Structures are given as structure tokens and as C-alpha cells.
Amino acid sequence: MSSRQVTVKDIAGRLRLHYTTVSKALRDHPDISPVTKARVLSVAEELDYHPNSIAKSLKKQATSTLAVIVPSIRNDFFAAVISGIEEIACGREFNTVVCQSNEDTAREAIHVHTLISNRVAGVLVSVAQTTTSGDHFRTLQKQGIPLVFFDRVRDDVEAGRVVVDDYGGARVAVEHLIGLGYQRIAHLAGHEHTSIGRDRCRGYVDALRQHGMAVEQEMIVYGGFEEPDGIAGMRHLMALSRRPDAVFAVNDPVAVGAYSEAKQHRLRIPRDVALVGFGDNTLSSYLDPPLTTVTQSPYRVGKAAARMLLRQIEHADGNVASEVEMIETTLIERESA
């Protein structure tokens, strides 16, 4: 038995029962007596039996597996989201498989098609920064697989979504800088076609306009969402004839890159330039000085997204496929501004 996986027929052979009887006993079917169920469970434990989820999926046309596609597993935000998803999934006896797009649309599409082939029960996605079309997600939906976006979404795909208040969080962060007296505030923005890049930049722009401050295009530097993008963006700002006295970064990794470049220019934070991020990553509170940032409760995002997906799975014919839930943000004031 140790050289291969134990099957229902192995248990049936040991007990001299029909394999359908054993199968029903393992599923706690009411047709089977408590005595027989106890005998079957005892032998199943003795033989270290594990149910074959793939074989079950062929019969049901779906597994009990939830798939998660994220841009980067090593990002603190996505790691915390995954933790929240698994908390809910495990409590409902669903397994979780995680795929990483590495911010690449082609890889994201490959993951989607693989998940379709493996008949997952549902998919949770935070979209890669290079993705400009939702075609591969619509393919997923055409196969009858429920879909929920979280954090980064596609506006051209009608699906459930759990989002952070990116606009409101960005606006509060910039208003905080304005309230502290900063006059020339720059923004290290994300990609223009990403939902969080657009919404956080819109919050930055509206905060300036609301307070009668000019929006200078040279003060907005578009890039990605990682530390090298912060380094490159800050380097560009430092080369301007009129440097900013404060910088609002699209997220904490970009802010960390900006920190590094500011230190290379021997700038004192916040005396020479203030920095504010978005995300409250673990590293943010350990920077010198600690980073003022916006918390977006990623664990709550993960739990909310998992609950929404499970509602879709359980109510496939109901009107739950286009739910929207927004998670509030909070400014965390530290010493970088």
C-alpha cells in the first residue's frame, strides 16, 4: 500500500464491502449505518487514505479549490491578502492555490487557462500592471468559473470586486502634506492604465486643486510599483531645476526606493524633502525616519474577497456576480513628513 495512493477500493477490499458502500460511508451518507461508517473510517485512518480531489472534480466538473492570482507573492500587501483568503477558504473546507503573474500579462493569461483546465471552483485576481485587456478573464467567465477582482481591477470586465478607497486615501495623504505647509508636492505614480494608479493619482490631483495649488505635470512621474521605480522616479525629480519639497508615492515599495535615492543625494527627511507612501508595509515603520503612510487593511481585503467569491459559488444563479465592496483607508502619521 505504501508505494501508491490508497483508494476506496482498497478499503472496500479490506472490509469485504462494495466500494459504493465505502464511498457513501466516507461522505457520511444517511443510507449507511453508524456501525459501518465507524468501521470504514477506522480502516481509512489505518491505511492513511486521502480522497482524490481530481477524480471528484471530473464527476462534479469543479474542484473544491479557490485560485488566487497576484502580481507578486513577496509583496507584503499580497502576502497579507492571501492569508485572509486562506482563513476564509479553510473554514469553508476549500483549498487555496496561489499563482504569481510577476506583473506580466502573458503569464497571467497562462495561469487563467491552466486554472480553467483544472476546473477550479473560483478565481480571485489582482491584475498585473501590464494588463490592458480583460479578454482572458472573460474566457474564465465563459467557462462558468466565478471571478472576483481585488485591489487592482479591470473596468472592462463585469465581475465582483473588493477594492481599497485608493482615491480617498491618496487625497487624505496629500492634504496632510498641504496642512504641514509643503508647497511643491510631487507624485510618484503607478501605471496610468491600472485602477490603483489612476485612482491614487486622481486623489493627488484633486487634493491640490481643492486647496488652490497648481497641478504641474513635471511633478507627476509615472512608473511601476516596485523599489526600482521609486529610485528612478526620485532621480528624475532630483534632476529638476525646481525640486519638490514633498513626495507622495503610489505605494510603500516605491516610497522605499525614493528614500534610497534621497539618501544618495544626502537629503534629510523630512527637512529637505518629505515622503509619504501608501500601504503600510512591514518595512515602513522601520525606516529612518519611519514612513508616514496609508493603511489599506490587506487581511480584511482577502477575507472580504474570499467571502464574495464563495457567495458566487453558492448562488451561481443569483445576482451576486457584480458586487462591489470598498475597504476604508487610514492615514498613519510618522516622522517622514
> What integer pLDDT is reported at residue 199 of this predicted model?
96
At 264, is the secondary structure helix, strand, or coil? helix
pTM: 0.78
Any idea which residue has 475597504 for its cell? Answer: 327
Is residue 101 a part of any domain in this protein?
yes
Q: Are residues 125 and 176 in the same domain?
A: no
Q: Are residues 190 and 260 in the same domain?
A: yes
44-50 average pLDDT score: 84
Buried b (16+ CB within 10 A) or exposed e, 250-278: bbbbbbbbbbebbeeeebebbeebbbbbb
Say which CATH number the domain at 39 has: 1.10.260.40
Neighbour count for residue 109 (Cβ, 10 Å): 18
Q: Are residues 268 and 235 in the same domain?
A: yes
Range of the domain at 19: 8-51
Record the cell numbers describing residue 316, joined without a space. Answer: 451561481
Choose among 247, 78, 245: nearest CA to 170: 247
Cα distances (Å, whole numbers) of residue 223 to 73, 130, 164, 232: 20, 11, 20, 8
Work out how many domains the chain is built from and give that number: 3
pLDDT in tens, 220-276: 999 999 999 999 999 999 999 999 999 999 999 999 999 999 999 999 999 999 999
Does residue 71 contact residue 128 with C-beta atoms inside 8 Å? yes
How would residue 1 be classed by pLDDT, with cut points 50, 70 and 90? very low
Is residue 336 a part of any domain in this protein?
no
pLDDT in tens, 287-320: 999 999 999 999 999 999 999 999 998 876 555 5
Is residue 2 a part of any domain in this protein?
no
